[in-house]
Amino acid sequence: MKHVDESVIVSLCPDPIIGVDGAGIVRIFNAAAEKLLGYAAADVIGVLSIARIYPSLDDARKIKKLIYSDDYGARGLIEGYESALVCSDGAVVPIRLSAVIMDEDDGGSIGFFHDLTERYDLERQLHILSVTDELTGLFNQRHFYKVMAKELDRAKRYHHPLSIICFDLDDFKQVNDSLGHLEGDRVLRTIGELLKDTLRQIDIPVRYGGDEFMVLLPETDIQAAAKTAERIRKAFNTKCAYSIDKGAGVIAKVSMSLGVTETNGTEKPDQVVQRADLAMYESKSSGGNSTVLIKQHIGDVVQAGPSGGERI
């Protein structure tokens, strides 16, 4: 095989290659490094310190320290270390680094960088899919319980209020039966949009299942949560109220039944959800289109019905 100059191999490599001397000054900067970081090789070779392209001086020092340890390979070698680089425009790019010391006396080394942007984007998209309800764009039930456990712990630790709204639709089956499931889906999507427009950034709206929804309200007592529930109900009545003529002169209106409760964080998630659910069903059993409150009782005694629920 005909001998090929090493500089040609470096220049043709599809991944960024950066070589530095013992003082950390860039001595090798191939075309792929130019493309990734936005620097021209002529402007950095012999001038730029490698520390300038790491997010912080500590990051640069850590990598230099690692190459002299055996944490990510043999001494003098790093294999597969994940970090980040800073581009000329300030953008931060996730990378995987493999590096080797080229000169023990001088301390110079050469690094091979692989851009992890696509992998990170894919992981981020997969995470979003795993916690999101596809139809409404709200969080799903699994994510709800995960976040709720954390919020209960925070409410207990810092003695902060935490409330939950539980609601579903009255006579929603009429929409599906009379207008079709596509129209039913449109209503559910509208609820997703409505919640995003109505709630604060710290609130956690969830499609719990079917036409049942939950809203987790950190830093919110039951009275403030009840006002939020009423805003949701009134907004829905404005956007999605249906009057369906069933052909027998009977008109069915689609509305919301909402239940609200609060917790001091000393309960399990299922206990709080059950109480909010009871409040919602009290609203529904009393004709719907209303909000019912059930406060947390000492000893976890829940009273549903006229003696336990406060109607709005």
Catalytic annotation on 221?
no
Pinpoint the alpha helices (H) of 117-171.
Answer: 117-131, 141-158
Contact predicate 120/83, CB 8 Å: no
User: Of the residues 133, 168, 211, 277, which is catalytic?
Assistant: 211
Tokens in use for 147?
């976040």
- In terms of residues, how long is the chain? 312
The three-class DSSP label of residue 110 is strand
Whole-angstrom Cα Rg for the chain: 30
Tokens in use for 199?
């709630």
Q: What is the 3-state secondary structure (H, E, C) of 211-274?
A: CEEEEEEECCCHHHHHHHHHHHHHHHHHHHCCEEECCCCCEEECEEEEEEEEECCCCCHHHHHH
CA distances to 56, 87, 108, 147, 298 from 84, in Å: 10, 10, 20, 29, 51
Residues tagged active-site: 211
